[in-house]
Chain A
Amino acid sequence: MTFLALERVGFAYRGKNRLFNAVSFAVRTGDTIALMGPNGSGKTTLGKIMVGILPVTEGTVRLEEKAIGDFRLSEIGRRIGYVFQSPAKQLFCGTATEEVSFGLIYRGWTVAAATERARELLDFFELGHCAQEFPLNLSRGEQQRLVIAAALALEPKFLVLDEPTTGLDDARKRQLAETLLRLKASEVGYILISHDADFCRECTERTLFLQEGGVRWREN
């Protein structure tokens, strides 16, 4: 079943600076896709369009067969986890634990259960030592792992990860690759926006190249 579909999508910032024209592709639940392209080709913009943060200037985006504009951001967030290119941009809580448990508490979990789940995820991402730290004081790599943990806490059906390997050392990159492959095995799909060709090849089935305003596919 098609989970997310872009139909002849075009986008231009402030009516000019056109990034792409008539981009069409469909994503099924469980698909693992790499989105690659040169700097400034619009990869991040396309990622934001896919989760409804940016409205398209042309064409339509459909989520589960409905126009994405018919969903509120919170409804999209319950279906798609989004990891910003700059992790600091989505950190807004006082501690790392609160950051991971935040969405769970608003979903009706008790504080104790959400904190316990947060602790598990923090330990998994080797962030247990900074559970009570102010997230913006963490290193870039720790922040990156923290936002991924916060996104995974909500158990989304699909993930859009913008440059998730930036700031990660080889060991952490390997750990992220293993996490993604586990998600893939449990039918959770994702789009990796990245310049890291080796990482993308390892973790995804197909690559979508964004170049000169259009897209082309390649099997990995």
Chain B
Amino acid sequence: MAGELAAPKFDPRARLAAVAVLSTLAIAIKDVAWLAGLVAVTFLLLSLGRFDPGRVLPRLRRFGPLFLALLVVQSIFAPAGRPLLTVAGIALVTMHGLIAGISIVLRLVIIVLSAAFIGSTDPMELVLGLVKLRVPYEIAFMVLLAIRFLPVLMEEVQDALTAIQLRGVDLPRIPPGAKLKLYTSIFLPVVAGALLRARKTAVAMEARAFRAYPQRTYLDELVMQRSDVLLTVMSLLFGILYYLLYLRR
């Protein structure tokens, strides 16, 4: 992911501020049109970071089935308003349910896109940024580990799926029930494997004297540039203004 952002290279604190504002607004706002506006702003933010849409859009496409499932579930379980799809006299999809579903999907789109804005930060810089925000180093380092371990975990799941298929299981073609059972059965070993790896990492960290001294020094120092201050201030102002306008709509 690093390298997606060519310029300007924002300070992680400025990025965190922008993402915090967008995510908070995504949760606080309930109106579909206002959420759609927020999606547009998120795209604008990504374009500020010179994100290639060709890289961002496949990321969203991967969430397609989840978005579709949420849309359907929300439509069915939040029944109110004009029925749009009725089966045997039961309103399966209603206007209100559909709008609720679209709202959830838009919220997730905002969170996924803004995560991409954070995800392009050098993980070590993110740690330094969090430390500057007075987050204890131990917690900040855990964030770094989580970021680094996520692709490893994904790779492990992929390896397990490859190994399953190489043992003669036609994964794409087995019935959904059997597939679900199979995924459930590999979930526990994969998570347990990740925990075992985490334990080994903890031992390796202690062997390298992690937390041996109360004070830490840092090779690199983060300094907020004018563009970082501008992004932070603009994000906060935008957040307040957008929410006030939304309340007065």
Contact = CB atoms under 8 A, between A and B. Distances in A.
A136 B163 contact: no
B159 A136 contact: no
B168 A84 contact: no
Contacts of A89: 156, 159-160, 163
A73 interface: yes
A137 B196 CA distance: 9
A73 B185 contact: no
Contact of A136 (B166, B173, B196): B196
Nearest to A48: B162
Given A72-B172, A90-B159, A90-B160, A77 B166 contact: yes
A82 interface: yes
Given A88-B193, A92-B190, A78 B162 contact: no
Interface of B: 156, 159-160, 162-173, 185-186, 188-190, 192-193, 196
A106 B170 CA distance: 9
A80 B170 CA distance: 15
Interface string A86-105: 00111111100000001100
A82 B166 contact: yes
Measured as residues with beta carbon below 8 angstroms from the partner, the interface class of chain A is 20 to 34
Given A134-B192, A136-B189, A92 B166 contact: no
B167 A136 contact: no
B169 A106 contact: yes
A138 B192 CA distance: 13
A195 B165 CA distance: 28
Contact of A92 (B160, B168, B170): B160
Contacts of A84: 159, 163
B162 A73 contact: yes
A78 to B, nearest CB: 5
Nearest to A95: B189
Contacts of A53: 162, 166
A82 B185 CA distance: 21
B118 to A, nearest CB: 24
Q: List 6 tightest A-B contacts by C-beta distance, closest first.
A: A103-B167, A90-B163, A73-B165, A77-B166, A74-B170, A92-B160
Nearest to B171: A74
Main DSSP-derived SS at the B contact region: helix
Nearest to B174: A106
A94 B185 contact: yes
Contacts of B162: 53, 73, 90
A103 B172 contact: no
Contacts of A81: 166
Contacts of B165: 72-74, 77
A136 B172 contact: no
B172 A107 contact: no
B180 to A, nearest CB: 15
A118 interface: no
A73 B166 contact: yes
B189 A92 contact: yes
Contacts of B171: 73-74
B40 to A, nearest CB: 32
B121 to A, nearest CB: 22
B185 A93 contact: yes
Given A88-B193, A89-B159, A150 B167 contact: yes
A10 interface: no
21 contacts: A51-B166, A72-B173, A73-B171, A74-B166, A77-B165, A77-B167, A81-B166, A82-B166, A84-B159, A84-B163, A89-B160, A89-B163, A90-B166, A92-B189, A92-B190, A93-B185, A94-B189, A103-B168, A106-B169, A134-B192, A135-B189
Contacts of B173: 72
Interface in A46-73: 51, 53, 72-73
Contacts of B192: 134, 136
A88 B168 CA distance: 19
Contacts of A73: 162, 165-166, 171
A215 interface: no
Nearest to A75: B170
